[in-house]
């Protein structure tokens, strides 16, 4: 993958409508100021005893592996303080379930390391970070005419269910509300019967069987079934499985070789999770979203779709409002958002600590993969997931804001 210049654009806006980022100084001047600021910050942290010694940091190796498919660089060449990167990798090495940590800056891979059971070629289970891929495929299906609008109603695509629906509110559920997780369906983790339904692998009948807990469009509830229904919709309108559709219209365009993608009992790929990719391929997806759907000079996902996906439609309505330095957590079209200090970020997020974090103002992508805690939802899994998110958010918080 060769780095290509990003197009000029207005940075994303947070829920309050305030611009995040912006530039009035030249790139070289900004990098010099950023370097000085971050170096001073690191020196202060070391002086007060909040981190490893300079000798320990100097021993941290985060050099990218020279493998085919990426152009590599160094943090210093991209205007980053190597000490801040070393601090992040020092902290990452302390985490028992982390598999990988990658940092991409200006399209270049500047830092990469694998831990515990991770490796460069390992296709990891991305868990719910898969949802962001499902969203991209909905956008592609819309652009190619398989779908006509995000305001189409869910039941249009499930005629076998439409005549049996007893709650008229379900007739109003739109694709837009599904993408935003504002359908009115509950989170499956709130009830054992709902969770068993998710594990059943037969999803269309659950549209009728499971009750709404809110009017469509009125509140956020994180529903894995909703993502699975979106995947089935793309399957039905395209005549291809979700994986086959992605192999035709997404993965080859971002130089990605997909691994397994779990299926339900009827052969539909799970829109909510179970996609397996290497950390480097996950970084390519993040880089493509960072550049408004462009990758290596090709428009892969419509730019308007990317912008709509990364808008924050719900803030502080999720099951958690703060993790580490991530606060004011929000949701777009199957993408999460948060503030880290004064910086706004978007991220794909999967159980266990699978992250694709977009740091727009620095043209940066941060990727982690980890032990996925497949079907393990308990205090132990959350403790490890939170530790990874805290490590990443702390790293992002140390980065200087672009001037």
Tally of domains in the chain: 2
- Based on the fold, state whether residues 50 and 102 are members of the same structural domain: yes
pLDDT at residue 298, as a whole number: 95
**Partners of 105 in the beta sheet?**
108, 364
- Based on the fold, state whether residues 187 and 286 are members of the same structural domain: no
- Based on the fold, state whether residues 138 and 218 are members of the same structural domain: yes
Q: Is the pLDDT of residue 120 over 70?
A: yes
- Based on the fold, state whether residues 288 and 341 are members of the same structural domain: yes
- Based on the fold, state whether residues 99 and 187 are members of the same structural domain: no
- Based on the fold, state whether residues 227 and 300 are members of the same structural domain: no
Q: Is the pLDDT of residue 52 over 60?
A: yes
Residue at 10 is within a domain: no
Q: For the ranges 229-243, 348-362, 370-384, which has the lowest average pLDDT? A: 370-384
Of the three residues 180, 209, 238, the one that is the final residue of a domain is 238
Only one residue has tokens 């979106």, namely: 230
Residue at 267 is within a domain: no
User: Please, which pLDDT band fits residue 50 given cuts at 50, 70 and 90?
Assistant: low
- Based on the fold, state whether residues 318 and 370 are members of the same structural domain: yes
- Based on the fold, state whether residues 113 and 154 are members of the same structural domain: no
pTM over 0.85, yes/no? yes
Q: d(Cα 190, Cα 176) in Å, to the nearest integer? A: 23
Token digits of residue 172 = 């109003």
The per-residue pLDDT for range 171-180, each reduced to its tens digit, is: 999 999 999 9
- Based on the fold, state whether residues 53 and 115 are members of the same structural domain: yes
Residue at 56 is within a domain: yes
Q: Would you report the helix, strand and coil content of the chain in percent, each value rounded to 5? A: 40, 15, 45
* Full domain range(s) for residue 112: 27-122+278-398
Of the three residues 178, 208, 238, the one that is the final residue of a domain is 238
- Based on the fold, state whether residues 54 and 150 are members of the same structural domain: no
| CATH (domain of 48) | 3.40.710
| Count of helices and strands (H, E) across the chain | 13, 13
**Mean pLDDT (the chain, rounded):** 89
Region for residue 139 given its phi and psi (left: phi exceeds 0; alpha: psi -120 to 50; beta: otherwise): alpha
Residue at 251 is within a domain: no
User: Please, which pLDDT band fits residue 49 given cuts at 50, 70 and 90?
Assistant: very low
Q: Is the pLDDT of residue 15 over 50?
A: no
Q: Is the pLDDT of residue 293 over 90?
A: yes
Q: Is the pLDDT of residue 43 over 70?
A: no
- Based on the fold, state whether residues 331 and 358 are members of the same structural domain: yes
Of the three residues 175, 206, 238, the one that is the final residue of a domain is 238
pLDDT at residue 22, as a whole number: 37
Residue at 384 is within a domain: yes
- Based on the fold, state whether residues 103 and 171 are members of the same structural domain: no
């Amino acid at each position: 993958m060769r780095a290509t210049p990003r197009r000029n654009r207005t940075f994303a806006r947070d829920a309050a409508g305030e611009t995040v980022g912006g530039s009035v100084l030249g790139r070289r001047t900004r990098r010099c100021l950023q370097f000085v600021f971050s170096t001073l910050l690191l020196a202060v942290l070391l002086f007060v005893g909040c981190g490893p010694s300079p000798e320990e940091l100097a021993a941290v190796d985060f050099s990218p592996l020279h493998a085919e498919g990426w152009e590599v660089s160094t943090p210093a060449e991209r205007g980053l303080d190597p000490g801040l990167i070393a601090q992040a990798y020092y902290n990452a090495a302390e985490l028992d379930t982390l598999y990988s940590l990658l940092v991409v800056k200006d399209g270049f891979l500047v830092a990469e390391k694998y831990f515990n059971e991770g490796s460069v070629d390992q296709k990891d289970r991305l868990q719910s970070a898969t949802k962001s891929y499902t969203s991209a495929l909905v956008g592609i299906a819309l652009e190619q005419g398989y779908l006509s609008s995000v305001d189409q109603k869910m039941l249009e695509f499930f005629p076998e269910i439409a005549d049996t629906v007893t709650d008229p509110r379900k007739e109003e559920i739109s694709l837009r509300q599904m993408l935003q997780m504002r359908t009115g369906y509950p989170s499956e983790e709130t009830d054992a019967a709902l969770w068993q339904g998710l594990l059943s692998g037969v999803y269309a009948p659950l549209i009728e069987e499971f009750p709404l807990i809110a009017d469509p469009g009125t509140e956020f509830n994180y529903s894995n079934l909703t993502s699975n229904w979106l995947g089935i919709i793309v399957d039905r309108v395209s005549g291809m499985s979700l994986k086959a559709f992605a192999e035709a219209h997404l993965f080859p365009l971002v130089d990605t070789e997909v691994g397994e993608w779990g299926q339900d009992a009827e052969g539909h790929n799970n829109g909510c999770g179970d996609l397996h990719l290497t950390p480097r391929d996950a970084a390519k997806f993040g880089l493509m979203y960072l550049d408004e759907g462009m990758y290596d000079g090709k428009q892969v996902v419509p730019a308007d779709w990317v912008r709509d996906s990364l808008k924050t439609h719900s803030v502080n309505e999720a099951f958690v409002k703060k993790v580490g330095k991530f606060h004011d957590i929000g949701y777009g079209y199957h993408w999460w958002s948060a503030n880290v200090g004064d910086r706004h970020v978007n991220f794909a997020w999967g159980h266990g600590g699978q992250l694709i974090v977009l740091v727009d103002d620095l043209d940066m992508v941060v990727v982690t993969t980890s032990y996925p805690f497949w079907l393990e939802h308990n205090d132990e899994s959350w403790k490890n997931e939170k530790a990874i998110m805290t490590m990443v958010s702390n790293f992002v918080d140390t980065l200087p804001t672009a001037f």
